[in-house]
């Protein structure tokens, strides 16, 4: 959606295909980092963005048995106004971007259009085949020809597979089970917090929604069968033990069907493109949930792609070298973030899920607590990431007061 908005602002004819009828997907991430908020301001959309329902995350902290919380990222130490992470349901953010993009005459969004295959001419990708869902009206099939196809179809990308691109998988020690718990009226005013709770071989995070908590239960990969075999009552006990403050409402988990299992993946394509097709976002690199960076990295890819590709697209002459330039620009930040995630997996989650520590290793927390350089760098690294992108000149607008 971001790439569509940016290219349309450059005057490129752009069509976004979305297979679903809306963006309302439960259990999607919330974290809009400072790099993305700054970008939204550069696009002149800051006022409308800030009017969306959201809460502010001012720091990231870990609980330490007997020692309270250790803050690993104090965003308040960053320069305002980009000194927080916005917690916002992904569907609100996508609806907002879609509304802004719809104002550009060269932008088209086709909902309920599922890309199924690539169209080729010789060795070059020349478009996508799609089918519409149509429901009772009956679906149709068609081909959309294009000078460039960008696969932004997520971590199970159909188009990446159709192009013969295979990602390299990295091992991940845990999976996540998402579910909801009610949020009482008296808890409404609370500021967002995602302090994880740790116990022997399990962990839990809670994201704030308007009238419920989005809970993520983390346990070793392969434990889905164990959870199902143990049954709902045992799962409620796990939740209550991890979050005694929420134990009064675990009965709202009526069955294990209320759990949404996320098979966590971390992978990356060696080559993000073939002639006529480029992969970005999760289609090029699925991210671990550690750090909540997936949305933001995908958006940074989109900005880099728009900046580098709008001129050749306007000339209608996109070469393979142009696509390679996008990968060159975005590979380093992706590798850095995924490497940090893999280190965190090894340092925190592998020992936790092996039952060796009840939380992050003390050595790691000592460094975070006592090394001033780390304390200074960490919030910036989390909030902006390596090589944050800025809006290209052609996409910048002065703040539009009616941008809602």
Ligand X SMILES: Cc1cc2nc3c(=O)[nH]c(=O)nc-3n(C[C@H](O)[C@H](O)[C@H](O)COP(=O)(O)OP(=O)(O)OC[C@H]3O[C@@H](n4cnc5c(N)ncnc54)[C@H](O)[C@@H]3O)c2cc1C
Binding site for ligand X (CB under 6 A): 17-20, 27-31, 114-115, 152-154, 158, 178, 262, 281-283, 287, 289, 292-296, 298
DSSP 160-221: HHHTT--EEEE--SEEEEEEEEE--GGGTTPPP----EEETTEEEEEEE-SSEEEEEEEEET
Minimum CB separation of residue 332 from ligand X in Å reads 18
d(CA 69, CA 63): 4
d(CA 382, CA 33): 8
Do 127 and 247 meet the contact criterion of CB atoms below 8 Å apart? no
Minimum CB separation of residue 176 from ligand X in Å reads 7
Minimum CB separation of residue 112 from ligand X in Å reads 9
Q: Which is nearer to ligand X, 19 or 402 (CB)?
A: 19
The answer for residues whose C-beta is within 8 angstroms of residue 163's C-beta and 6 or more apart is: 118, 125, 151, 274, 277, 279
Minimum CB separation of residue 295 from ligand X in Å reads 3
Minimum CB separation of residue 364 from ligand X in Å reads 22
Minimum CB separation of residue 281 from ligand X in Å reads 2
Q: Which is nearer to ligand X, 28 or 375 (CB)?
A: 28
Q: Which is nearer to ligand X, 177 or 353 (CB)?
A: 177
Minimum CB separation of residue 200 from ligand X in Å reads 24
Q: Which is nearer to ligand X, 281 or 359 (CB)?
A: 281
Give the burial string for 251-283 (b: 16+ CB within 10 Å, else e).
eebeebeebebeebbbbbbeebbbbbbbbbbbb
Two tokens at 381? 């690294």
Q: Which is nearer to ligand X, 295 or 352 (CB)?
A: 295
Q: What are phi and psi of 402, to 5 degrees?
A: -100, 15
Residue length, the chain?
404
Minimum CB separation of residue 228 from ligand X in Å reads 19
d(CA 8, CA 97): 12
The answer for residues whose C-beta is within 8 angstroms of residue 95's C-beta and 6 or more apart is: 23
CA 162 to chain centre: 23
d(CA 305, CA 392): 10
The Cα angle at residue 248 between residues 245 and 252, in degrees rounded to 5? 120
Minimum CB separation of residue 314 from ligand X in Å reads 24
d(CA 314, CA 241): 58
Minimum CB separation of residue 370 from ligand X in Å reads 29
Q: Which is nearer to ligand X, 154 or 358 (CB)?
A: 154
d(CA 364, CA 347): 8
Q: Which residue has the tokens 């990431």?
A: 385
Q: Which is nearer to ligand X, 12 or 299 (CB)?
A: 299
Q: Which is nearer to ligand X, 163 or 293 (CB)?
A: 293
DSSP 400: P
Q: Which is nearer to ligand X, 115 or 364 (CB)?
A: 115
Q: Which residue has the tokens 């909801």?
A: 180
Q: Which is nearer to ligand X, 282 or 389 (CB)?
A: 282
Q: Which residue is nearest to ligand X (CB)?
A: 29
């Amino acid at each position: 959606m971001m790439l569509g908005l940016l290219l349309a602002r450059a005057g490129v004819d752009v069509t976004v295909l979305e297979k679903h009828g809306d963006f309302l997907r439960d259990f999607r991430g919330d974290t809009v980092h400072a790099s993305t908020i700054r970008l939204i301001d550069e696009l002149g959309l800051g006022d409308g963005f800030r009017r969306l329902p959201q809460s502010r995350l001012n720091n990231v902290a870990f609980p330490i048995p007997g020692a309270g919380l250790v803050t690993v990222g104090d965003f308040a130490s960053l320069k305002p106004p980009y000194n927080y992470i916005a917690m916002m349901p992904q569907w609100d953010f996508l609806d907002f971007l879609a509304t802004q993009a719809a104002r550009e005459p060269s932008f088209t969004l086709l909902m309920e259009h599922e890309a199924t295959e690539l169209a080729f001419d010789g060795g070059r990708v020349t478009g996508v085949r799609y089918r519409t869902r149509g429901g009772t009206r009956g679906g149709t099939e068609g081909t959309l020809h294009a000078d460039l196809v960008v696969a932004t179809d997520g971590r199970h990308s159909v188009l990446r597979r159709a192009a013969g691109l295979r990602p390299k998988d990295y091992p991940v020690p845990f999976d996540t089970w998402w579910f909801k718990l009610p949020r009482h009226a008296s808890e409404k005013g609370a500021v967002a917090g995602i302090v994880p709770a740790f116990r022997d071989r399990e962990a839990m995070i809670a994201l704030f929604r308007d009238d419920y908590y989005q809970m993520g239960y983390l346990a070793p990969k392969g434990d889905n069968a164990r959870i199902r075999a143990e049954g709902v009552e045992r799962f409620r006990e796990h939740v209550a033990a991890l979050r005694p403050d929420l134990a009064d409402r675990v009965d709202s988990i009526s069955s294990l069907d209320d759990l949404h299992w996320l098979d966590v993946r971390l992978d990356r394509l060696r080559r993000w493109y073939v002639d006529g097709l480029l992969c970005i976002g999760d289609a090029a690199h699925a991210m671990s949930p550690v750090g909540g960076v997936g949305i933001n990295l995908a958006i940074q890819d989109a900005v880099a792609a728009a900046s580098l590709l709008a001129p050749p697209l306007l000339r209608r002459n996109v070469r393979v070298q142009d696509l390679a330039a996008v990968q060159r620009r975005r590979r380093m930040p992706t590798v850095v973030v995924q490497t940090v995630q893999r280190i965190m997996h090894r340092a925190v989650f592998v020992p936790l899920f092996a039952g060796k520590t009840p939380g992050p290793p003390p050595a790691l927390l000592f460094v975070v607590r006592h090394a001033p350089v780390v304390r200074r760098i960490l919030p910036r690294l989390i909030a902006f990431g390596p090589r944050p992108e800025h809006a290209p000149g052609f996409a910048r607008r002065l703040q539009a007061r009616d941008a809602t």
